[in-house]
Structure 1
């Protein structure tokens, strides 16, 4: 089954590639106002780069067939429709199905997709995607070998899959991903493999370090309070850690 496009994006990159840089700051802008703003991306001629595009994805195929539903036609059609950007979904469970063993086939497939994007002048954001953590819960993303639940329960809800994020086992798996030193190293190593392979590819504009991360709610905690705590204690340290790992490559 052919896949691809979903959800329009108007983008920026969490860990921008070297060719994408913030626009220079006007001397009239005060530091406080600039710090509150998100600096625009610029091209190699200093022009503000406006990105319009779509997700490009293949969630159906795995293993040797991973990403096989994505074809050159998708990028040709994107460009013909006036779009210049694609968020390419890649999955850690396909890249590293067994701990420490990275799939050369998967990396080659990603490179072929990036070559199509370059041919049709489409910028690509490589997105380390996860839905409901990963295959341990019937979805995609973090490998089963990196999934730790402490035996907490998980009840599938196919009629409302997003609600599965609030299952105790899923939330505990996120906590282990953020806190366990060996999983921190494994996630950083995965990103280093991607960054080292694709850092110089002209289609790559940046990296989305993890899609829609969740965290574990504490008893009696409302969602806004939990979100602030999880961002401060888990997400910000994770993003900084992964950004450092990417930049070493």
Structure 2
């Protein structure tokens, strides 16, 4: 429901790869996948000073006011913003400057913003998507849990009076389906209680959003809702598109009288996108597909071309990592000059003026493709 009491059907897109670069978005299949692995590759190729300057400019350029205007014109009414905790670790951290700017653009266009902690201290998945160290240490570390709670308390205090922020998605896709990690299913709701308590200590206004275990798919980990302003989120990729896929979540909604929301889906053919969107809307489930922008792709709202020399960067990225392979890597690497040209051109390619709309993808979402 909106503040005025009207029913709200969320039609959104994820601004992935902005605060939390992912390897597949760069076509680094078989190479670096997590944010820090990609950053380390850039340090190796163009040096730490130029790499730091590159990533700062990346965050300035990847999402701009023109991108939000495009989403508005296309018919989207919301964005989900995946966040990395490291950009919100102090009151004056740079993440707040970037988010404040985004929220001002969204406010102008009346587009709701959902803040998603994609990368939590300690890691909630142990995989590349949370930029962790290969294991979900969040569930074993009181320090990491306290740190995550402090991040959310700081974010919530900053945005507690901002109505265009719809809510806080507290942990993205916690606990993979791997058998060895399902021992932590029992710990997920207790961690959520700590995070909700941290948010509620400073913000009673915004909805808190809880995702199930096993990549936001398993709602059996939840008991009765413990907060009066809560929404539950599911993610679905590469599944059938009929109502059977979401029936258990509809049943959960009806049992506890709570809203549910599809926080991620996509990465599929246009026909699949169209069919699943129709199923969601027929059952009054708001959605937020993934992602807004992607290099050399059709399964996104906009795309951009590979930069110059990028195939050379990809080939090098797939080599065995680490300084133990230093001699082989130095022999095989692009020169610093060629690498710099590639990263400079990437910054040009991601600019709004150099992207183009995937009209079929937008149309199959039931929205209106627009050119720019």
> Does the alignment reach a TM-score above 0.5?
yes
Whether 1:94 and 2:48 are equivalent positions in the alignment is no
1:178-200 CA distance string (max 9 Å, x none): 23222211110011111001111
Q: Which ranges of structure 2 fall in alignment gaps of 5 or more residues?
A: 22-38, 40-51, 203-372
Return the alpha-carbon distance in structure 1 between the equivalents of residues 75 and 177 of structure 2: 41
SS of the equivalent of 2:119 reads: coil
Return the alpha-carbon distance in structure 2 between the equivalents of residues 112 and 187 of structure 1: 23
The alpha-carbon deviation at position 113 of structure 1 amounts to 0.6
Match of residue 241 from structure 1: 194
Which of structures 1 and 2 has the bigger CA Rg? 2
Return the alpha-carbon distance in structure 2 between the equivalents of residues 177 and 230 of structure 1: 10
Return the alpha-carbon distance in structure 1 between the equivalents of residues 75 and 83 of structure 2: 24
Query: Cα RMSD between the aligned structures?
Result: 2.9
Cα distance 1:184–1:194, how it changes in 2: closer, same or farther (>3 A)?
same
SS of the equivalent of 2:98 reads: helix
Q: Which ranges of structure 1 fall in alignment gaps of 5 or more residues?
A: 1-41, 148-168
Match of residue 98 from structure 2: 109
The alpha-carbon deviation at position 140 of structure 1 amounts to 6.0
Relative to the length of structure 2, the TM-score reads 0.40
Comparing 43-52 and 112-121, the one that deviates more: 43-52
Q: 2:184 aligns with which of 211, 214, 230?
A: 230
Match of residue 153 from structure 2: 192
The alpha-carbon deviation at position 52 of structure 1 amounts to 0.2
Q: 2:163 aligns with which of 192, 202, 210?
A: 202
SS of the equivalent of 2:134 reads: helix
SS of the equivalent of 2:59 reads: coil
Cα distance 1:200–1:66, how it changes in 2: closer, same or farther (>3 A)?
farther
Match of residue 240 from structure 2: none
* Greater fraction of residues in helix: 2
Alignment length (residue pairs): 165
SS of the equivalent of 2:174 reads: coil
1:46-82 CA distance string (max 9 Å, x none): 2211100100131349764463211011211111111
Whether 1:67 and 2:65 are equivalent positions in the alignment is no
SS of the equivalent of 1:43 reads: coil
1:128·1:208 contact (CA, 8 Å) conserved in 2?
yes
1:72·1:116 contact (CA, 8 Å) conserved in 2?
yes
Match of residue 123 from structure 1: 112
Relative to the length of structure 1, the TM-score reads 0.58
Whether 1:51 and 2:10 are equivalent positions in the alignment is yes
The alpha-carbon deviation at position 104 of structure 1 amounts to 2.7
1:155-191 CA distance string (max 9 Å, x none): xxxxxxxxxxxxxx623xx1x3123222211110011
Return the alpha-carbon distance in structure 2 between the equivalents of residues 238 and 191 of structure 1: 12
Return the alpha-carbon distance in structure 1 between the equivalents of residues 193 and 170 of structure 2: 10
